[in-house]
């Protein structure tokens, strides 16, 4: 994509922009101020990238080299959609989270395109604490597939097509597929080395063979999570793997381990974990004090992309403060709340505002999703060995990673602990057609839900590709379930 095509796309987006759900409902002056203030702040932060990369000429050069940057600039489109119908402290929490996400993303993008000699291509299931303690930077090749698709549901289609036309299996998961498409197109930042793992699935693990090849055959270290990761021998084996990774990084990069810096990072990570756990405890009581994006989006970002940073701590502090206000007043973050649902599997990237629609039409609060229900042990910072041990446990027990490895109980235990421990009304399974691991367990899940008398919906969709099942197709499946199983009445015809 050249500069002329980018300019045409930009003008077309402006000319054809329509609010997804029509005009906003009547809102207070405070809510209007929240929207306009953070809308302007987001654009100011994005514009600030011009100076972080060395001026407007270099920014244009990077946009031509990495045309998906244009899609990321449209972040306010998702911001506007996610504010629809949200009010008060809930609205402000969403705006604060977006502010932090935009800041952190701009910082990561700026570093990634300007410091390739210290850049590590890091798979999305491997937290970056150790790299940062070594003075290295990380670029997550999957980040555009996640955030870009959330911003614009059609943004990833061209990269999915790139990959399939090059021979990548059409029925594989679209996240590693489109990430390979970005590499095939030559649009992935050039790192010095890469670090991947065998998490979460075979598609993700094998994709890095092509990604590193297209990056110039850069060296790669592959972390190997053992099948028996819950046992002591598995933990010990992975700790040794982590030590070998550090030695390998010191051999192949300019990075050097600073254990004091890692201790500081882990202490901030611990603080963020404590804040998030406190928020979960508030949400045990009905009505829900703070659901939706302030949990799932901020957890996705703060625990996987920027863990152990001041931004991660600050974001949870702000969200928790607003949640406490709702809790103290005994009010729901979403006044229309009638049902509380667990969404298993990630919230669909190609329908990132699904929670908005569900709240407005059916009064369903997405209380939590499986990706947010993370096993986050507090890190013992006494010594390098204790830090590596607890970080190893956190990596091996990451969501989705721990759920689809080993016996089926790994998949179901968390699911029913959440449903029963948090007084939820239903289970909604996001049935990503490209995820063979979870597809294989759907019938077992139906049977277990019948035994426990838990209403269960499995809707078909593809995580990144709306051409497989459209947003309207997802809505139709949810409508059918709510009308025929839950016997609910609509609150709106959106």
For 161-188, give the DSSP string. Answer: HHHHHTT--TTS-HHHHHHHHHHHTT-S
Note whether 234 and 163 are within 8 A (CB).
no
94/340 Cα distance (integer angstroms): 19
Question: Which single residue is written with the structure tokens 């139906």?
Answer: 446
pLDDT value at residue 354 = 95
Dmax (CA) for the chain in angstroms is: 63
pLDDT value at residue 16 = 43
pLDDT value at residue 1 = 47
Dihedral sign for Cα 212, 197, 253, 255, please: positive
187/127 Cα distance (integer angstroms): 23
428 φ/ψ angles, rounded to the nearest 5 degrees: -115, 115
pTM of the model: 0.92
pLDDT value at residue 17 = 41
Contacts of residue 34, Cβ cutoff 8 Å, sequence gap at least 6: 83, 91, 92, 95
240/392 Cα distance (integer angstroms): 10
Contacts of residue 385, Cβ cutoff 8 Å, sequence gap at least 6: 239
Please give the structure tokens belonging to residue 491: 């609150």
Note whether 84 and 20 are within 8 A (CB).
yes
Alpha helix positions (H), 191-258: 202-214, 232-252
Contacts of residue 183, Cβ cutoff 8 Å, sequence gap at least 6: 141, 210, 211, 214, 215
357/365 Cα distance (integer angstroms): 10
128 closest CA partner among 265, 248, 277, 295: 265
The pLDDT profile of the chain, 494 residues, written as one tens digit per residue, is 444 554 555 544 444 444 455 566 778 999 999 999 999 999 999 999 999 999 999 988 998 999 998 888 899 999 999 999 999 999 999 999 999 999 999 999 998 888 889 999 999 878 799 999 999 999 999 989 899 999 999 999 999 999 999 999 888 899 999 999 999 999 999 899 999 998 877 788 889 999 999 999 999 999 998 888 888 999 999 999 999 999 999 999 999 999 999 999 999 999 999 999 999 999 999 999 999 999 999 998 998 889 999 999 999 999 999 999 999 999 999 999 999 999 988 889 999 999 999 999 999 998 888 888 877 789 999 999 999 999 999 888 877 777 777 788 888 888 898 888 888 999 999 999 888 777 778 888 999 999 999 999 999 999 999 999 999 999 999 999 999 999 999 999 88
């Amino acid at each position: 994509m050249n500069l002329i095509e980018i300019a045409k796309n930009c003008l077309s987006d402006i000319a054809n922009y329509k609010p997804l759900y029509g005009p906003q409902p009547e809102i207070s002056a405070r809510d209007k101020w929240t929207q306009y203030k953070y809308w302007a702040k987001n654009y100011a932060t994005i514009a600030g990238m011009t100076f972080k990369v060395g001026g407007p000429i270099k920014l244009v050069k990077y946009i031509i080299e990495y045309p998906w940057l244009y899609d990321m600039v449209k972040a306010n489109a998702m911001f506007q959609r996610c504010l629809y119908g949200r009010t008060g402290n809930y609205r402000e929490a969403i705006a604060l989270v977006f502010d932090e996400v935009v800041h952190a993303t701009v910082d990561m993008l700026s570093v990634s395109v300007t410091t390739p000699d210290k850049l590590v291509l890091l798979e999305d299931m491997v937290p970056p604490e150790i790299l940062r303690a070594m003075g290295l930077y990380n670029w997550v090749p999957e980040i555009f597939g996640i955030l870009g698709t959330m911003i614009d549901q059609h943004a990833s289609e061209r990269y999915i097509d790139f990959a399939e036309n090059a021979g990548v299996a059409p029925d594989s998961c679209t996240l590693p597929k489109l990430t390979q498409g970005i590499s095939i197109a030559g649009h992935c930042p050039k790192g010095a080395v890469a670090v991947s793992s065998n998490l979460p699935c075979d598609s993700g693990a094998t994709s890095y063979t092509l990604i590193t090849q297209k990056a110039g055959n850069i060296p790669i270290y592959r972390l190997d999570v053992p099948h028996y990761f819950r046992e002591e021998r598995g933990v010990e084996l992975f700790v040794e793997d982590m030590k070998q990774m550090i030695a390998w990084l010191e051999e192949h990069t300019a990075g050097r381990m600073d254990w004091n810096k890692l201790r500081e990072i882990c202490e901030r990570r611990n603080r963020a974990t404590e804040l998030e756990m406190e928020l979960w405890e508030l949400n045990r009581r009905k009505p829900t004090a703070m659901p939706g994006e302030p949990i799932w989006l901020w957890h996705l970002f703060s625990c996987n992309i920027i863990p152990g940073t001041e931004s991660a701590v600050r974001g949870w502090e702000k969200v928790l403060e607003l949640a406490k206000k709702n809790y103290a007043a005994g009010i729901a973050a979403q006044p229309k709340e009638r049902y509380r649902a667990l969404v298993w599997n990630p919230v669909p990237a190609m329908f990132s505002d699904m929670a908005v629609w569900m709240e407005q039409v059916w009064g369903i609060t997405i209380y939590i999703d499986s990706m947010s229900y993370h096993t986050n042990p507090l890190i013992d910072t006494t010594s390098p060995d204790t830090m590596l041990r607890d970080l190893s446990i956190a990596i091996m027990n990451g969501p989705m990673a721990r759920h689809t490895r080993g016996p089926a109980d790994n998949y179901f235990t968390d699911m029913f602990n959440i449903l029963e421990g948090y007084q939820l009304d239903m289970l909604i399974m996001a049935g990503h057609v490209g995820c063979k691991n979870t597809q294989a367990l759907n019938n077992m899940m139906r049977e277990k839900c019948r035994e426990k008398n838990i209403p269960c919906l499995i809707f078909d969709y593809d995580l990144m590709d709306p051409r497989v099942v459209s947003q309207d197709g997802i809505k139709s499946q949810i409508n059918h379930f709510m009308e025929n199983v839950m016997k609910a009445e609509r609150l709106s015809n959106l």
